[in-house]
Structure 1
């Protein structure tokens, strides 16, 4: 079983998810967008398990900083460049576990997703 968490380390939601995974003895690796990078190949992996609109964090400061025109013209192609430019536009955490993805943190959803 492979489990990878993607995000930025100073995010409170990331910290909660990491704590939950550790408490439930779920081994994972952490991919820090800022240190480890985010490119088109990695985004292609994300898109294979989740849709771009599910990944888009509309509550982030990065999203609020977009112009109205950028927000109105978002689609799979335009958002890809924005994700690479500003990874904080991706909801956190994104966890890929055995080829399936879960976005965000919710205890009940995690219990079901990881069958704990």
Structure 2
């Protein structure tokens, strides 16, 4: 089952959810702020992904800037990144869509079309 991690106040999440519903994609929704993915889940996704660490972070978020992560990501291990992301769902780029080891962050219609339509 596809898992859709979103934040109800995020307009991008709402657009993505609308797209999924319009295309009749079955998914389970989870609030990324109230109930973020675990460190173990995040570590598995980071390890399996060919994307840079920056891809998983909400780089326009207030917390990202407060922590000065722009300058720290290059030296961060996957374990450190997964622990940090699991500690604060607002650090994760959203929406986050997951099925097995397939993961996407953010919403791009062409990516969703390619990866999430059965």
Band the TM-score falls in, shorter-chain normalisation? 0.7 to 0.9
Partner of 2:60: 59
TM-score, normalising length: structure 1: 0.79
TM-score, normalising length: structure 2: 0.78
CA distance in 1, matches of 2:83, 2:39: 9
Gaps of 5+ in 1: none
Gaps of 5+ in 2: none
CA distance in 2, matches of 1:113, 1:43: 19
Aligned 8 A contact 1:49 1:101 in 2: no
Are residue 40 (structure 1) and residue 39 (structure 2) matched?
yes
Matches within 5 A, 1:1-116: 2-50=1-49, 51=51, 52-67=53-68, 70-74=69-73, 75=76, 76-115=78-117
| Residues 46 and 7 of structure 1: CA distance in aligned 2, closer, same or farther (over 3 Å) | farther
Aligned 8 A contact 2:33 2:90 in 1: no
SS of residue paired to 1:58: coil
CA distance in 2, matches of 1:46, 1:112: 19
Equivalenced residue count is 113
CA distance in 2, matches of 1:81, 1:99: 18
Q: Which segments of structure 1 move beyond 6 Å, counting only runs of 4 or more?
A: none
Shift of 1:96: 1.1
CA distance in 2, matches of 1:98, 1:37: 17
